[in-house]
Chain A
Amino acid sequence: MLKQVEGSAAVAEAVALARPEVICAYPISPQTHIVEGLGERVKDGSLAHCEFINVESEFAAMSVAIGSSAAGARTYTATASQGLLFMAEAVYNASGLGLPIVMTVANRAIGAPINIWNDHSDSMSQRDCGWLQLFAETNQEALDLHIQAFRLAEELSMPVMVCMDGFILTHAYERVDMPSQADVDAFLPPYEPRQVLDVKEPVSIGAMVGPEAFMEVRYLAHAKQTMALERIPHIAAEFKARFGRDSGGLVRSYRCEDAETVVVALGSVLGTIKDAVDEMRAGGVRIGVLGIQSFRPFPLAAVRAALQGAKRVVVLEKSFSVGLGGVVSTDVRLALAGLDSQGYTVIAGLGGRAITQASLVRTLGEAIAGTLQPLTFMDLDWRIVNRQLEREASMRRSGPIAENLLRDLGSVASKVS
């Protein structure tokens, strides 16, 4: 059924359609509306056989999720930003134990400086935690990915993070096609755990493992993610057969057939990039986009196949590894090893900085002209950067950086963007 709803409301409804049995969460922007929507459904009884557990922190949220998943309950939680960092230890435990929890990360920057806006620093900080990480381009894909995520998580007995851009998606009203309960039930069978805490058949879960088997347990986690490379396209194809939509999968190309330049990105910025690509195509530029839907497991072969013909590859990312450059770029370069293409990393949209079509067209034009730096911070305000560098060079007690920059900028509320 077509609906015009907020992204968070769409995800809450999709999660409810997946019939979770335990939902635990601690509120943090921009994830809050999702669990509020689920809490209301549990309270009014429309989401039956589900316990909503209020917890005292994100660390508790993931700890409760681990317990309920180990007890055999289909378990869901959601978080963002500092909340994800606060639960990090338990996040690693969930994957190490092989528990198929599904968690939404409403992507948001990490402080300091404190910032509630969108970028991908939070989920990227957990890149190596062993969870699968799927990225949504639209609210439709976000809701579809949640339904697929439970299926994927439970097939593999591994936790899945569904990453959706905070505010840009979670707070956007747009049209979504909401599946019926009957179709979701047919697509997603009841949870059949591989391991379960059961008083009738007691087992230990979470034993200490020494050097004799630790590497093997870790390798098996990697083997499961490798299996996921097969399962993700299969589940996406089955989803399409039932629901009629291309959602999820490993990667998705747009106008890449004869493209000399391909832009690689994750998440909602793909939409703006596609509009930029259409604009450039209209001017005769052979350019396309590759969206990565599955960041973990990273689809090396699919990325390589999609980028094989490109002369230049521009990875645009909303996170970066301080002291190195791109996070996604590093993985993309691994996929391109031995191929003869020029690689660029464009860091954009950190802390909610708007990524505009005009800036994309200009930046991509510079890549094509060969004038773009290998590592570029798009729309960086060099005036305030250089003023701070001069300040630091000229005096010892130069003061707090963020506050200096805000003072240099003056009023920040007077501009639209």
Chain B
Amino acid sequence: MLQIRIHGRGGQGVVTAAEMLSIAAFEQGHHAQAFPSFGSERTGAPVVAFCRMDDHAIRLREPILAPDVLIVQDPTLLHQVDVFQGLKPDGYVLINTRRSFDALGLADISRRFRHERLTTVPATDIALKVLGRPLPNAVLLGGFAALSGLITLDAVEHAIRHKFSGKVADGNVAGAKEAYAYVQKEMKELAHAQTS
């Protein structure tokens, strides 16, 4: 079972991101379960949403305490919420920021986890460009597809078009594609830096 935890703030589409991930997984023939952290969410308040994927029906209903994947939609949460709580040693991390992972002051995290699985993408910048609004959720899913290879960019596109239509869908798909390319390039550079 693959467990994904998404951290963000109310209004950033955290819950929708988890739902889209579950739709993408369903599209690829998996069972998937997405659910929010059930708070009385307010704009700007920390929000958590979860997605599980498996090849058989998922019965577990507890919050995701030991995620395989962390997606952080708002880097200011790093100083407020223990987003890395329970992350598996070989887990993936994707943070929405212009800065690199090490520049965020997360050197300790870099040492504890697999460096090539920790990456960042400027999803808010991309969203502002393609949507005109700072909504990084769907964009980050493109980045996640590139980082993990666990879901395809096609499935992400399908999920986006399932949730949105018209210009909003087109913009989000374009953003997801850009994030995909960005993360792929970043990972190549990381791999190159490690081998040289």
Residues of A within 8 A of B (CB): 2, 4, 6, 116-118, 167-168, 171-175, 268-272, 274-275, 352, 354-357, 413-417
Known: A116-B38, A274-B59, A416-B86. 5 other contacts (CB 8 A): A352-B38, A413-B80, A415-B85, A416-B48, A416-B82
Shortest Cβ distance from A29 into B: residue: B40
In the complex, the answer to whether B82 meets A116 with C-beta atoms within 8 Å is: no
In the complex, the answer to whether B38 meets A414 with C-beta atoms within 8 Å is: no
A residues within 8 A CB of B181?
A: none
A residues within 8 A CB of B46?
A: 413
Q: Is B113 an interface residue (CB 8 A)?
A: no
Q: Is B22 an interface residue (CB 8 A)?
A: yes
In the complex, the answer to whether B33 meets A6 with C-beta atoms within 8 Å is: no
B residues within 8 A CB of A356?
A: 62-63, 65
User: Given that A355-B61, A416-B82, A416-B85 are contacting pairs, would A173 and B38 also be in contact in the complex, using a CB cutoff of 8 Å?
Assistant: no
Shortest Cβ distance from A270 into B: residue: B59
A residues within 8 A CB of B34?
A: 172-174
Looking at the complex, which one of A4, A274, A357, A415 makes contact with B82 (CB distance below 8 Å)?
A: A415
In the complex, the answer to whether A355 meets B48 with C-beta atoms within 8 Å is: no
In the complex, the answer to whether B32 meets A355 with C-beta atoms within 8 Å is: no
The B53-86 residues at the A interface (CB cut-off 8 A) are 57-65, 80-82, 85-86
B135 to chain A, nearest CB (A): 19
B residues within 8 A CB of A416?
A: 5, 37, 48, 63-65, 81-82, 85-86
In the complex, the answer to whether B81 meets A173 with C-beta atoms within 8 Å is: no
A414 to B83, CA, bound (A): 9
A6 to chain B, nearest CB (A): 7
B residues within 8 A CB of A414?
A: 80-82
A residues within 8 A CB of B138?
A: none
Q: Please name 8 pairs of A and B residues whose Cβ atoms are closer than 8 Å in the assembled complex, sorted by A.
A: A171-B35, A171-B36, A172-B34, A272-B61, A355-B61, A356-B65, A415-B85, A416-B85
What string of 1s and 0s marks CB contacts (under 8 Å) between B38-54 and chain A?
A: 11100001101000000
A142 to chain B, nearest CB (A): 13
Q: Is B160 an interface residue (CB 8 A)?
A: no
Most chain A CB within 10 A, of B57, B61, B86, is at: B61
Q: Is B157 an interface residue (CB 8 A)?
A: no
A275 to B52, CA, bound (A): 15
Q: Is B88 an interface residue (CB 8 A)?
A: no
A residues within 8 A CB of B36?
A: 167, 171
A382 to B38, CA, bound (A): 24
A residues within 8 A CB of B45?
A: 413
Shortest Cβ distance from B65 into A: residue: A417
Q: Is B178 an interface residue (CB 8 A)?
A: no
In the complex, the answer to whether A275 meets B22 with C-beta atoms within 8 Å is: no
User: Given that A167-B35, A172-B33, A416-B5 are contacting pairs, would A272 and B86 also be in contact in the complex, using a CB cutoff of 8 Å?
Assistant: no
A residues within 8 A CB of B22?
A: 4, 173-174
In the complex, the answer to whether A172 meets B35 with C-beta atoms within 8 Å is: yes
B138 to chain A, nearest CB (A): 15
A residues within 8 A CB of B32?
A: 4, 173-175
In the complex, the answer to whether A168 meets B63 with C-beta atoms within 8 Å is: no
Looking at the complex, which one of A173, A272, A355, A417 makes contact with B23 (CB distance below 8 Å)?
A: A173
B residues within 8 A CB of A4?
A: 22-23, 26-27, 32
B72 to chain A, nearest CB (A): 12
Q: Is B161 an interface residue (CB 8 A)?
A: no
B67 to chain A, nearest CB (A): 9
